Amino acid sequence: MTPKDIHSFARPEEAVVEHLSLNLNVDFNAKIISGTATLSIKNKTGANQIHLDSKGLNISSVVLDSGEPTSYSMADAVEYLGSDLTVAIKPETKKIVITYSTSPDAGALQWLDPAQTNGGTQPFLFTQSQAILARTWIPLQDSPGIKFTYDATIKVPSNLMALMSAENDTTLHPDGIYRFNMPQAIPSYLMALAVGDLQFRSLGPNCGVFAEPAMIEKSAWEFADLHDMITSAESLYGPYAWGRYDVLVLPPSFPFGGMENPRITFATPTIIAGDRSLVALIAHELAHSWSGNLVTNATWNDFWLNEGFTVYFETRIMEKIYGKDYADMLTLLSLGELRETIKAMGDTSKDTHLYLDLAGRDPDDGVSDIAYEKGRFFLTSIEYAIGRERWDAFLNSYFKKHAWGAIDTKTFLVYLESELIKGDEKLRKQINAEGWIYAPGLPANCPEIKSTELEKAGNAATAYKSGIPAKTIDTKGWTTHHWMYFLRNLNDSLDLKKMKELDAAFGFTNSGNSEILCEWYQHAIASGYEIAFPNMEKFLMTVGRRKFLKPIYSELAKTQKGLEMGRQIYQKARPGYHAVSIQTIDGILGLKK
């Protein structure tokens, strides 16, 4: 029995969508997608209506089966959720054909002008449906517990390529018509479309990369280990279930690091660092092919079941390919971030529970590091308690048993009890699942993480703070992660003189690495190091990834002067950001109405 999803109007227990067939035209001039969505439904109870989700869609007609018109009503919009679209059906109805168009401000769609792309000559469109934005471009049952197959015919300008979370062709179609088939059932938040000037490079028998021509070589080089990642993942938790695994490198305004759209991960170009140091993000999106895409959180309150499992799995892939020292660096950095998040939220905040209560909120607003990192450390703590071999056996059976379905937190706990704890009172206490899931902060059994590599960077930071010159620090062999840890451990100790000295020694202001820049700019703002500001402004004007925007704008908002500067930059940058980032930054800069 699936729990009620408070973020959807669907009533799948009455009538549920089983297949979606799209026939859409993408109009870059009007910034509108229009056409038909044909929903194949199963009427379980002989219901006389079906409830769908829609937000900002203009519906022009709804017909049943072979063209018989039917009545429908669009209820008043509810904040964040949009409208309950109710269509009159008959007990024997098999299909509903909805003719509609999107509105120009549809939250899932980001329309980029040529200037916002790498090539600079062609426009670009990408979708971001998670969490509840699919309903802004398709009328459907927008709830993660409802899975359906789909096919699509998409018409785009003839010089652009279209890709979907489905079987993709790798070549340009001169007529601009692309046909897609997705034979495996997916939840609505994995509906995805991208249209742009794109090329493809193969990276192995079942994987490759799509990117704009200007980025394709760099991207192919950066993701050279993609095939290794897939075989490593399979050796851990079973066969990859989706056929091909490709990565699409998007223009920089993409609000997330990556989005695990099945068969084709959408990724930010900010991970193309030129040294393969930020590819853990690809391991993360790949891991979602099991946790999330195959075994899906039933509601957004159960989001940790998607993300906690995925971060855990990601780290195991990274350990398998790059070794334990490398994985330990990533894990310790994340633990530091998690502690900061909990400190900022307050260690009694209910938002630090793994199981969330997102009633009345946009799920995109309510999620934080907690689902990802507290979720991961919960799973790591179980591994430590019972040993890796037993834990991996449990995970293998967990993925197999729940594949192609959805799971909520309660069901997970029952499964954990029946398959792992098995009445062992001592083990139950030791694992302390209730403490992790339904209580705030970090339980006492949170694993301690040691990283000998990061210790070097931490010691260097301590030495620098105690007065040794920057240029005498031995940074040979340092990776992005050493630098991040070094910069984080300088805390707020930097005055202008020290900032200048560090910049002269290590060239931070001119770094090409987005993670290092993000740390550096926060120091620059705190210390008033204005030399870095022009580059920071350029960064904020081009990069739309919320993970970077959030700390930089937050640091700016700490002082009146900074807030004014932040608002000035934001005014120019905002039109280039995705709705997801805008929602967050509006809040930080006090611009929410």
CB 495 → Zn ion: shortest distance, Å? Answer: 38
Q: Which of 72, 372, 485, 553 is labelled catalytic?
A: 372
CA distance 286 to 314: 8
96/318 with CB nearer Zn ion = 318
CB of 552 to Zn ion, least distance (A): 22
Query: Which range of residues in 204-212, 216-224, 305-313, 481-489 is near Zn ion by CB under 5 A?
Result: 305-313
List the structure tokens of 369.
Answer: 């590091």
- For Zn ion, the closer CB: 151 or 362: 362
CB of 290 to Zn ion, least distance (A): 12
Active site residue 285: yes
Residue among 280 and 540 whose Cβ is closer to Zn ion: 280
Residue of 353, 529, 532, 334 whose CA lies nearest to 438:
353
The answer to whether 221 and 279 are in contact (CB under 8 A) is no
Cβ contacts of 300 within 8 Å, gap of 6 or more: 5, 7, 131, 132, 144, 356, 358, 363, 366, 367
The answer to whether 233 and 240 have CB atoms below 8 angstroms apart is yes
User: Which of 54/310 has CB closer to Zn ion?
Assistant: 310
- Binding to Zn ion in span 310-329, by CB under 5 A: 310
CB of 25 to Zn ion, least distance (A): 32
- DSSP 8-class letter at 122: S
Least CB distance to Zn ion at residue 220 (A): 23
| 403 prior amide bond cis, ω within 30 | no
Phi and psi torsions of 492, nearest 5°? -105, 30
Strand order in the sheet with 95-101: 68-69, 58-64, 95-101, 32-43, 15-27, 147-155, 177-187
Is the Cβ of residue 55 or residue 376 nearer to Zn ion in the bound state? Answer: 376
Q: Which amino acid is at 460?
A: A
Nearest residue (CB) to Zn ion, 161 versus 281: 281
**Shortest Cβ 256–Zn ion spacing (Å):** 9
Within 10 angstroms of residue 537's Cβ, the number of other Cβ atoms is 16
d(CA 531, CA 528) in angstroms, rounded, equals: 9
Q: Indicate which residue of 212, 222, 260, 285 is catalytic.
A: 285
Task: Return the bridge partners of 86, or none.
Answer: 51, 73
Binding mask 391-430 for Zn ion (x = CB under 5 A): ----------------------------------------
Rounded distance, CA 178 to CA 168, Å? 9
DSSP result, 195-210: EES-EEEEEETTEEEE
Question: Segment near Zn ion (CB under 5 A), from 34-42, 76-84, 308-316, 360-368?
Answer: 308-316
- Residue closer to Zn ion by CB (options 288, 353) is 288
Query: If binding means CB under 5 A, how many residues of this protein chain bind Zn ion?
Result: 2
DSSP annotation of 140: B
Of the candidate spans 55-63, 299-307, 382-390, 419-427, the one that interacts with Zn ion by CB under 5 A turns out to be: 299-307
183-191, 300-308, 472-480, 525-533 -> range binding Zn ion (CB under 5 A): 300-308
Q: Which two tokens stand for residue 216?
A: 């394709």
Q: Which stretch in 70-78, 159-167, 173-181, 306-314 sits in contact with Zn ion by CB under 5 A?
A: 306-314
Considering beta carbons, is residue 96 or 333 the nearer one to Zn ion?
333
**Token pair for 367:** 């999620």
Using the rule CB under 5 A, give the single segment among 98-106, 225-233, 307-315, 360-368 that binds Zn ion. Answer: 307-315
Q: How many Å is the maximal CA-CA distance in the chain?
A: 81
- Distance CA(574)–CA(225), nearest Å, equals 35
Q: Count the alpha carbons within 13 Å of 225 in the hemisphere toward its beta carbon.
A: 19
| Residue 217 to residues 118, 170, 220, 250, Cα–Cα distance (Å) | 13, 16, 5, 14
Give the shortest CB-48-to-Zn ion separation in angstroms: 39
Question: Among residues 43 and 130, whose Cβ is nearest to Zn ion?
Answer: 130
Distance of CA 105 to the CA centre of its chain: 21
Residue 207 pairs in a beta bridge with 204, 245
In the residue annotation, 564 being an active-site residue is answered as: no
Q: How far is the CB of 259 from Zn ion (least distance, A)?
A: 8
Could you tell me the smallest distance in angstroms from the CB atom of residue 484 to Zn ion? 20
Give the whole-angstrom CA distance, residue 513 versus residue 8.
Answer: 39
Separation between Cα atoms, residue 551 and residue 518, nearest integer Å: 8
Nearest residue (CB) to Zn ion, 151 versus 307: 307
Task: Please give the Cα distance from 125 to 535 (Å, whole number).
Answer: 27
Closest distance of CB 289 from Zn ion, Å: 11
Q: Which residues bind Zn ion (CB under 5 A)?
A: 307, 310
The catalytic residue positions are 285, 372
